[in-house]
Amino acid sequence: MIKKDGINDFFQNYLSKSSIFKNKKVLQANYMPETIFHRDPQLRQMADIMAPVLKLEKPSNLFLYGKTGTGKTLSMKHINDQLTQVASQNNIPLRITYINCKLKKVADTEYRLISQLLCEFGKPVSFTGLPTDELYKQFFNTMDNEEIMYILVLDEIDQLVKRNGNDILYNLTRINSELKKSQLTLVGISNDWFFAENLDLRIKSSLGWEEILFPPYNAVQIQMILRNRSDLAFETGCIQPGVVEKCAAYAAREHGDARRAIDLLRVSAEIAERDGCESVAIDHIDKAEAKIERDRVFEIIKTQPKQFQAVLYSIFKIHEQKPENIFTGEVYELYKEISTRIGLGPLTQRRVSDIVAELDMLGIVSVTVISKGRYGRTREINIATPPSANPRIMKILSDELSLA
């Protein structure tokens, strides 16, 4: 039984308790640091390429690639900020739009992308029903109405093309060549190097973009970045020695992902604070690592459509009894039963097959197509989540599906 004053005391206490954090924002994903470390050559190159825009000349299209957390998006945003600043000082009609193509239901198809663009220009359109050509036309007209230098940044562009084919890129370049007054510059960002390689030659040449590689950070570089951020983020002495090093080492092990390192540090500190510790210790990092991965998976799972969840539930259910060698056939059998039980019409095997493939793309399961010789051909499904998270995943799934 908590007395009325109890909660009040708690809050008072909470307020007066000194926090580990000085400025937590510094460690959050959207934070824009003053200086970007170890990316001078890339920034330089990007600046060189984009600069003509300030003289109202069309810059080359640009393609940035490198693993996640190597500063692609950050660098691009930095360049964007600088450009917009200079442009507005000199009255240059410059406009930059940043779109992440991976966001489901926002920009993951050609139609939705253009509709999103029109939205940016303040001309919202319905999300279905119109011919795609019509959208292009509207977009084209809007652009050509006023003289404007337009830069379109497409993050995770490989996702877009993988789902919808090359036509989008082709159409966008075509628009540019037809524009009279305005100029459209494309910036593609991708972590898939093969994407640019495998692009249709015709498209490649019509894009004619300059490629810039973002190599992974090494452990020392990550350490430096982390050190810089943690000085800003924490009160002095709140980080025990070795913590930054270990975060850096963890992240370096995973292809030098700086974002991950920063997340790790932040979550570690959050855990430390919640535990009532005065400072962040090394073993907070391990807890943080597990938590980050779990949270990521939970988030993905919760936002999936019901059918996806049902398929996933079947996979995990089978996994409980038989951790190895899960095949599509058995998953489908169980899925059929479950989807009927919860009043969801069962989808065909064909569709479920695609769903499984999509779950693979999301990184929740990993699948390999194998041939079992005489016994046919199937996908071998493995669960890609940390085992410690699985009970909780089952819980989430059965809640979402309102299974008993």
Eight-class DSSP state of 386: -
- Binding segment for DNA among 52-60, 109-117, 196-204, 317-325 (CB under 7 A)? 109-117
Those residues with Cβ within 8 angstroms of residue 339's Cβ, 6 or more apart along the chain or in another chain: 307, 310, 345, 346, 347
CB of 152 to DNA, least distance (A): 18
Among 248, 378, 389, 393, binds DNA (CB under 7 A): 378
* From 30, 128, 321, 402, residue interacting with DNA (rule: CB under 7 A): 128
Q: What is the smallest separation between the CB atom of 178 and DNA, expressed in angstroms?
A: 20
d(CA 105, CA 118): 15
Q: Is 4 in the site for DNA (CB under 7 A)?
A: no
Sole binder of DNA in the list 2, 55, 350, 402 (CB under 7 A)? 350
Integer Cα distance of 125 and 162 in angstroms:
25
124 near DNA, rule: CB under 7 A: no
Rounded to an integer, what distance in angstroms lies between the CA atom of residue 169 and that of residue 207? Answer: 8
- Do 185 and 150 contact (CB within 8 A), yes or no? yes
In angstroms, the CA 173 to CA 196 distance is 16
The torsion angles phi and psi of 132, rounded to 5 degrees, stand at -65, -35
Interface with DNA, residue 142, by CB under 7 A: no
Pairing relation of β-strands 365-371 and 377-383?
antiparallel
Q: Which of 84, 228, 349, 382 binds DNA (CB under 7 A)?
A: 349
Dihedral sign computed on CA atoms, order 367, 255, 79, 193: negative
Give the pair of three-digit tokens for residue 237. Answer: 């002495």
Nearer to DNA, 13 or 402 (CB): 402
Token pair belonging to 232: 């800003």
Task: Provide the token pair at 389.
Answer: 């998270």
Residue 343 in the binding site for DNA (CB under 7 A):
no
- 345 contacts: CB under 8 Å, gap ≥ 6: 339
Which part of the chain contacts DNA (CB under 7 A), choosing from 90-98, 204-212, 344-352, 396-404? 344-352
**Smallest gap, in angstroms, from Cβ of residue 377 to DNA?**
4
Judged by CB under 7 A, the residue of 327, 362, 392, 401 near DNA is 327
Torsion sign across C-alpha atoms 207, 66, 230, 11: positive
Counting residues that bind DNA (by CB under 7 A) gives 37
Residues written for the chain: 404
Q: Does 129 bind DNA (CB under 7 A)?
A: yes
Residue 20 DSSP SS3 = coil
Task: Please report how close the Cβ of residue 105 comes to DNA at its closest, in angstroms.
Answer: 7
Pick the closer one to DNA by CB: 91 or 371. Answer: 371
**Minimum distance of DNA from residue 150's CB (angstroms):** 23
Q: Which is nearer to DNA, 78 or 112 (CB)?
A: 112
Separation CA 80–CA 229 (nearest Å)? 22
Q: Is residue 348 part of the contact set for DNA (CB under 7 A)?
A: yes
193 binds DNA per the rule CB under 7 A: no
Which segment (69-77, 104-112, 265-273, 383-391) binds DNA by CB under 7 A? 104-112
Binding residue (CB under 7 A) for DNA from 100, 353, 382, 390:
353
Considering only the stretches 35-43, 77-85, 254-262, 328-336, report the one whose residues sit in contact with DNA under the rule CB under 7 A: 328-336
Tell me how far apart the alpha carbons of residues 169 and 330 are, in angstroms, rounded to a whole number. 40
Question: Which residue of 18, 30, 371, 402 would you call a contact of DNA, by CB under 7 A?
Answer: 371
Number of H helices, E strands in the chain: 17, 8
* Residues lying near DNA in the complex (CB under 7 A): 109-112, 126, 128-132, 305, 307, 327-330, 345-351, 353-354, 356-357, 369, 371-379
